[in-house]
Structure 1
């Protein structure tokens, strides 16, 4: 449970940084749409999708490291057993 909270917090912070980096103020409002409501909808939906993507990425990364750890443990077990016989 704690790991999920940490992942969700990291995802939210990374998404916030992404939104701030894409904010039109930094681009002299070149991409500012005519409708302010649609712009806010775009920001909110993009932020929520970014949270999901970062959260899924962190979960996949954790699984990858667990598989690597299991493969290394299995490799060292076979090496020590093979050397003893």
Structure 2
């Protein structure tokens, strides 16, 4: 992995983690804290987003022009979004 790829994963992970924290809190405050609804919402939406981007990447003329874009979006952003707890 190149230094540029590592930097993009770091940047994406930062924003993914912040997004998870924000969405999980909003959902938790909205429906209550008796069950971790925020965590469930984040994990389901993140899995859907990763699948959608992976499917789009396989299409002709897909969204991933390079591996660096994939590193930023899937590995960094959505990886941080679905992993940070």
TM-based fold match above 0.5: no
Greater RCO (Cα-Cα under 8 Å, separation 6 or more): 2
**Coarse TM-score class (shorter-chain normalised):** 0.3 to 0.5
What TM-score do the two structures reach when normalised by structure 1? 0.38
